[in-house]
Amino acid sequence: MGDTPVHVPTRGDRRQRVGVGVRNVPDHGPSTMDASVYRDPVRYELERTRVLTSHWLLAGRSEQVEGVGDWITYEGHGESVVITRQPDGHLAAFHNVCRHRGPAFVTEMSGCAARRFTCPYHGWVYDTEGRLVGVPEREDFDPDHLAAAGPARVAADEWGGWVWINMAGPDHAVPLIEAIGAEIADDLGAFRMEDMVLHEVLEFDVPVNYKAVVDGFNEIYHVTELHQVPPEFTKAARCASFHIVGDNYMCFVPKPEHLAELESPDYDHHRYAICHYVVFPNTVFNCNPGHIQVFQPIPVAVDRTRFLCWEIIYPGNPDDPEYQRYLKNTMAHWAGLKMVVGQDISIYEQMARTKNSSAFTTQILSERECKIAHFHENMDRKTRVDPAQRAIT
Ligand code: FES
Ligand SMILES: [Fe+2]
């Protein structure tokens, strides 16, 4: 590791996203919304089978699968997927479901330098691309049945130093970069997440629907009351801009100490704002100039969520005093953010008490909560079916 200074993201000649001449709130307006979206099992099943299996989801950091045969596992909404690094450098991903009688055949959640995976039940053997390569007592099976037992492939790709998967499979998934979108790829790209390293992952078991967690990151209205931010922050937050870009969202919250600069057409949101990006359905990037949090609510059931909070930082030489200063400041800020996450979790606990209440029928949303409204409208569009078909089979 050399003494290269820590990367400082800057807007450069990118488009201005907040401040003079930029509209703060999209033309959506206040709205109301049916509360059943958080508890309807039919809707959850439609989201599971139509959205979560056809959109790009975060599976981990590229650095977690650096070497050939290294693997990580993604688990959520009933799926288990293994992602492995191949000798040519690309990632392969496959459903971790033994083709014999169905259990997960990769037993560890992650590991290094695998060459084969052996199902612990009867010993069927798979290679690191999920191909069946060995069957004990093969002569007892119909060769046609075994020939048809091809790997259940999942698309895998990398962007921003993150591993993404799409269960539509390599032949049907839209390209990852298209799903992220050129605007977000460019603006978020300034942070160079691919050069950053994983510092910590927190995991919480949250007793509410995953969309309620996404919603909490699609508005900043709650920061004054729940996070008890100082009045200057509330004032700055009123100047934030919200953007809807296709399926995805951006939001820029000016930092109070740089509010005066907001008047300048050269305002650098990468330096002076908290930059926030949501990739549909459930990947949330919260970017501070020096470090980034990724919030990932993974559905487990209609009213239960595995909530991961990732903290990534810039690497550097630990002996360099400049880097030591960077680390000290970043860690102090991260410690504060962990408290903020704890406050968010405390609200999910209050929501859990009323999630099935007969009195919780409608939500009333302000125009600054338009990303929430848009998110649910989008989800509704993607899961809509003929009412006659609305039944779980
Ligand atoms: S279930 Fe995997 S080998 Fe039988
Ligand atoms: Fe919050």
Output the six-digit token pair for 21: 């001449």
Residues with Cβ–ion distance below 5 A, ligand 2: 344
Q: Among the atoms of ligand 1, which is closest to the Cα of residue 123?
A: 3
The tens digit of pLDDT for each residue in 183-209 reads 999 999 999 999 999 999 999 999 999
| CATH number of this structure's domain 57-172 | 2.102.10.10
State mean pLDDT over 307-334: 96
Q: Which H or E element spans position 323?
A: helix 321-354
Whether 32 shows a pLDDT value over 70: the answer reads: yes
| Closest Cα to atom 4 of ligand 1 | 122
Ramachandran quadrant class, 108 (left: phi over 0; alpha: psi -120 to 50; beta: rest): beta
Output the six-digit token pair for 291: 């470090």
Q: What residue segments make up the domains of the chain, in order of their start?
A: 31-52+192-383, 57-172
Q: Among the atoms of ligand 1, which is closest to the Cα of residue 99?
A: 2
Reply yes or no: is the peptide bond before residue 281 cis, omega within 30 of 0.
yes
Residue given tokens 């996450």 in the structure block = 341
Q: How far apart are CA 95 and CA 82, in angstroms?
A: 6
Q: Which is the CATH superfamily of the domain at 31-52+192-383?
A: Naphthalene 1,2-dioxygenase Alpha Subunit; Chain A, domain 1 (3.90.380.10)
- CA pseudo-torsion sign 262, 265, 271, 277: positive
Task: Give per-residue burial for 296-324: e unless 16+ CB within 10 Å, then b.
Answer: bbbbbebbebbbbbbbbbbebeeebeebe
- Residue 369 in contact with residue 222, Cβ under 8 Å? no
**C-alpha 36 – ligand 2 centre gap (Å):** 22
Identify the pLDDT of residue 386. Answer: 62
What ligand has the least distance to the C-alpha of 136?
Answer: 1
Residue 228: Cβ within 10 Å count: 10
DSSP, collapsed to helix, strand or coil, labels residue 161 as coil
Identify the pLDDT of residue 148. Answer: 86
pTM of the predicted model as reported, rounded to 2 decimal places: 0.95
Residue 66: Cβ within 10 Å count: 10
- CA pseudo-torsion sign 214, 215, 216, 220: positive
Output the six-digit token pair for 234: 């509330």
Q: Which of 80, 95, 98, 132 to mutate to test the pocket of ligand 1 (most atoms within 8 A of CB)?
A: 98
DSSP classification of residue 322: H
Confidence of residue 388 (pLDDT cuts 50, 70, 90): low
Whether 124 shows a pLDDT value over 90: the answer reads: yes
Ramachandran quadrant class, 116 (left: phi over 0; alpha: psi -120 to 50; beta: rest): beta
**C-alpha 104 – ligand 1 centre gap (Å):** 9
Q: Which of 119, 141, 146 to mutate to test the pocket of ligand 1 (most atoms within 8 A of CB)?
A: 119
Whether 226 shows a pLDDT value over 80: the answer reads: yes
Q: How far apart are CA 274 and CA 276, in angstroms?
A: 6
| Closest Cα to atom 3 of ligand 1 | 122
What ligand has the least distance to the C-alpha of 229?
Answer: 2
Identify the pLDDT of residue 1. Answer: 46
Q: Pocket residues for ligand 1 (CB within 6 Å)? A: 98, 100-101, 103, 105, 119, 121-124
Q: How far apart are CA 203 and CA 155, in angstroms?
A: 25
Ramachandran quadrant class, 374 (left: phi over 0; alpha: psi -120 to 50; beta: rest): alpha
**C-alpha 334 – ligand 2 centre gap (Å):** 14
